[in-house]
């Protein structure tokens, strides 16, 4: 944080020494054109880095949260596109052997040649990136923010109001590998995002989790150290890394006061199927 403030002061109050330093920065910029371009063209660079939060959940699990990842104007442009142009569906899924309507709309996009996705008895149709061009721009922004990431699929969700939700679950499908990185950007209405540590397999909490409705499962059953909660703002980015899907569950609960649409796009990497 101190280094960021010092850098900001150098640019706002130049002296001979700082001009020499700026010359050094120019030389460094030649060695890293992408970073220099980003700093020069993004006036929110310092603010974004100040607001980036990293939460160590322990045992190799990590959360990154950036409340203002996408500028507001661009967020609303992307929200309008996603709301009106994405081919949303509300599929029938299987929950504990029973068929029910998924409590949110969805759409799936993936690169060609990947193994298919299947969850809760549902296999979504995979649209191509070229069918939804703005999604490639959002993907590029995420890759820029997360060096080393290589997302090749995208699951979109649309919550029409506070009655739409996603119950406690983990994105631990085998197609994502043992330690998946999942990056989610939210647009529109703010919603709560909750995490809780998975109980041990031999714990009585496992059985309780199956018997109680989602709204009651978290109450009085986990300590403060075993849960996290975020208010996902318009244009925010949340990243789950490491062992988060192995050791933690997450949900977006119902909220009576959420009276507008929320859309989130979750980027994932599907591992190649080498069995064939």
Q: What residue spans define the domains of the chain?
A: 53-197+226-268
**What is the distance between the alpha carbons of residues 265 and 206, in angstroms, rounded to a whole number?**
29
- Please state the residue numbers annotated as binding site for substrate: 172
Q: How far apart are CA 155 and CA 271, in angstroms?
A: 15
CATH of the domain spanning 53-197+226-268: 2.60.120.590
pTM recorded for the entire structure: 0.76
Q: Which residues are annotated as part of the binding site? A: 157, 159, 169, 172, 250, 262, 266, 268
pLDDT (tens place) for every residue of the chain, 276 residues total = 555 455 555 545 656 555 455 554 453 444 345 444 444 445 444 344 458 999 999 999 999 999 999 999 999 999 999 999 999 999 999 998 999 999 999 999 999 999 999 999 999 999 999 999 999 999 999 999 999 999 999 999 999 999 999 999 999 999 999 999 999 999 999 999 999 999 876 544 444 444 345 544 444 344 568 999 999 999 999 999 999 999 999 999 999 999 999 999 999 999 987 665
Q: Which amino acids are annotated as binding site for 2-oxoglutarate, given as ranges?
A: 157, 159, 169, 250, 262, 266, 268
* Token pair in block for residue 275: 């069995």
Q: Would you give the DSSP letter of residue 92?
A: E
DSSP string, 201-239: TTSHHHHHHHHS-HHHHTTTTS-GGGEEEEEE-TT-EEE
Token pair of 34 as six digits? 């992408």
pLDDT of residue 272: 82
Strands of 30-179 (E only): list them: 53-58, 61-66, 92-95, 98-101, 105-110, 126-127, 153-159, 166-169
């Amino acid at each position: 944080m101190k280094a960021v403030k010092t850098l900001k002061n150098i640019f706002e109050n130049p002296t001979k020494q700082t001009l020499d330093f700026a010359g050094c920065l120019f030389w460094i910029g030649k060695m890293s054109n992408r970073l220099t371009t980003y700093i020069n063209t993004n006036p929110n660079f310092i603010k974004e880095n100040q607001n980036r939060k990293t939460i160590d959940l322990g045992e190799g699990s990590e959360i990154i949260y950036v409340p203002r990842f996408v500028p507001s104007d661009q967020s609303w442009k992307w929200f309008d596109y996603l709301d009106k142009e994405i081919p949303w569906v509300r599929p029938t899924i299987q929950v504990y052997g029973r068929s029910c309507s998924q409590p949110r709309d969805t759409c799936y996009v993936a690169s060609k040649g990947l193994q298919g996705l299947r969850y809760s008895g549902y296999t979504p149709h995979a649209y191509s990136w070229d069918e939804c061009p703005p999604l490639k721009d959002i993907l590029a922004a995420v890759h820029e923010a997360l060096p080393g990431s290589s997302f090749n699929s995208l699951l979109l969700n649309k919550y029409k109001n506070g009655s739409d939700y996603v119950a406690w679950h983990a994105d631990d499908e085998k197609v994502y590998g043992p330690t998946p990185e999942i990056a989610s950007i939210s647009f529109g209405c703010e919603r709560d995002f909750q995490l809780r540590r998975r109980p041990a397999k031999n714990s009585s909490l496992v059985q309780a989790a199956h018997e109680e409705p989602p709204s009651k499962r978290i109450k009085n059953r986990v300590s403060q150290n075993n849960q996290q909660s975020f208010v996902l703002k318009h244009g925010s980015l949340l990243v789950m890394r490491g062992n988060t899907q192995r050791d933690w569950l997450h949900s977006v609960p119902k909220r009576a006061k959420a009276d507008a649409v929320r859309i989130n796009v979750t980027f994932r990497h599907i591992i190649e199927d080498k069995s064939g």
